[in-house]
Amino acid sequence: MMASSEYRRPFAQNAPRIYSVGTANPPHRYTQQEVLDLYGEKDWKIRSIFLGGHIATRHLYLPEPVNGHVPEESNEELIAKHLRGALEIGPKAIERCLTPLGLAPYDIDFLCCISSTGFLCPGITAHLIRKMGFRESIRRSDILGMGCNAGINGLQAVTDFAKANPGKWALLVCVEICSAAYVYNRSLNTAVVNSLFGDGAAALLVRCDPHASWKDGPRVVDFEPHIIPEAIRAMRFDLEDNKLSFYLDRDIPYVIGLNVRKPIGRLLGRHQLKKRHIQHWVVHSGGKKVIDAIAYNLGLTRYDLRHTVSVLRDYGNLSSASFIFSYKELCLENVVHEGDLAVMITMGPGTSIETALLAW
């Protein structure tokens, strides 16, 4: 019998690989204190939610202050801000993803865009094609309204495309202008949302090439979803004053923690893997409570979750884009070896937990 630590399985050698990653944020960055000051917030309960959430700074599209305070934004202004922001930081993330490989939008064969922070028609892909010069023959999908977990749902789409079309480039773009889904009605629920979510865009480039090596990027080996239908109302958009207002149930972080072992057990079990075989964990920066719940249910250490925690601290919760920011931090560390495995976890409305297995 071989020791399990020496166990290496030649995972689907011709699975598509993630070749590149790019991220972008709005130019303005705010501390939690600055946001409180801009909204003239005096309520100590709301202030403590902002200052105790383990977030230091966020990049946000906030309106120009008038007499030191930000004016209220109408629903029309919020919708316009979503598109304007998406078309500013989306292209930046795409360029940062393509340029290192000497690629241009014209080279991309499939474009999949994710957003949950504004409804629009035509979708973001159409706007990006017009703005950036993608081919008029490009295949595209817009995934709207799936929430924080949607990045992995999008990764499933680009991976499937890449697998079915070897040699073709598939580009995933998550662009979230969470500040376009802010409602200031002084309730504690909206305070939690307004203190947590930040603006950001992230892109991943995927292709299937049998001649590529681990140095080109990790193979996307497998996915395992888990949905908790009885918690369908735990995270959702409500309408308040005709504006979309995100609702977040108090207990949902712990419910996610309790359920996260199920998809992880199935994903690892299917490949005869144990948790100790996974070198890297790329977990959505949902918030302090859900990060703790995942840590103590999966037995992940502070080291395992270092990027999840640092992305939350530096950017807030970027919804579907967060885990790609963590993935980028991992790549920048240069700690990955040939044969290493990573598990990605995102969680969001549904209530939904999405997982993916990567192999270098």
| 209 binding another protein? (CB under 8 A) | no
Residue 105 CB, nearest approach to another protein (Å): 43
Give the footprint of another protein on residues 258-287 (CB under 8 A): 258, 274, 276
| 254 binding another protein? (CB under 8 A) | yes
| 299 binding another protein? (CB under 8 A) | yes
Matching residue, tokens 């989306």: 90
Instruction: Compute the distance between CA of residue 123 and CA of residue 190 in angstroms, rounded to an integer.
Output: 27
Residue 87, phi then psi, degrees to nearest 5 = -85, -5
State which residue, 131 or 289, has the beta carbon closest to another protein: 289
Residue 317 CB, nearest approach to another protein (Å): 16
> 148, 174, 178, 208: which one is catalytic?
148
Residue 295 CB, nearest approach to another protein (Å): 7
DSSP 66: B
**What are the DSSP calls for 294-347, one per residue?**
HHHHHT--TTTTHHHHHHHHHH-B-GGGHHHHHHHHHHHHT---TT-EEEEEEE
Give the footprint of another protein on residues 38-97 (CB under 8 A): 52
Inter-axis angle of helices 124-132 and 75-98, to 10 degrees? 50
Residue 32 CB, nearest approach to another protein (Å): 15
For 86, the token pair is 């998406």
Instruction: Compute the distance between CA of residue 90 and CA of residue 84 in angstroms, rounded to an integer.
Output: 10
Instruction: Compute the distance between CA of residue 314 and CA of residue 326 in angstroms, rounded to an integer.
Output: 11
Residue 272 CB, nearest approach to another protein (Å): 11
Give the footprint of another protein on residues 104-163 (CB under 8 A): none
Instruction: Compute the distance between CA of residue 60 and CA of residue 180 in angstroms, rounded to an integer.
Output: 9
| 232 binding another protein? (CB under 8 A) | no
Give the distance from CA 259 to its chain's centroid.
20
Matching residue, tokens 């040699």: 167
| 249 binding another protein? (CB under 8 A) | no
Given candidates 296, 332, 335, 339, which one binds another protein under the rule CB under 8 A?
296
Q: Which stretch binds another protein (CB under 8 A): 9-17, 201-209, 291-299, 350-358?
A: 291-299
| 166 binding another protein? (CB under 8 A) | no
Burial class of 318 by CB neighbour count within 10 A (0 to 12, 13 to 18, 19+): buried
| 121 a catalytic residue | no
| 339 binding another protein? (CB under 8 A) | no
| 295 binding another protein? (CB under 8 A) | yes
The counts of H helices and E strands in the chain are: 11, 13
State which residue, 113 or 264, has the beta carbon closest to another protein: 264
Residue 59 CB, nearest approach to another protein (Å): 25
Cβ contact 349:157 at 8 Å? no
| 288 binding another protein? (CB under 8 A) | yes
Q: Which stretch binds another protein (CB under 8 A): 34-42, 170-178, 205-213, 254-262?
A: 254-262
Binding-site ranges for another protein (CB under 8 A): 1, 3-5, 52, 253-254, 257-258, 274, 276, 288-289, 292-293, 295-297, 299
Query: Which residue numbers are catalytic?
Result: 148
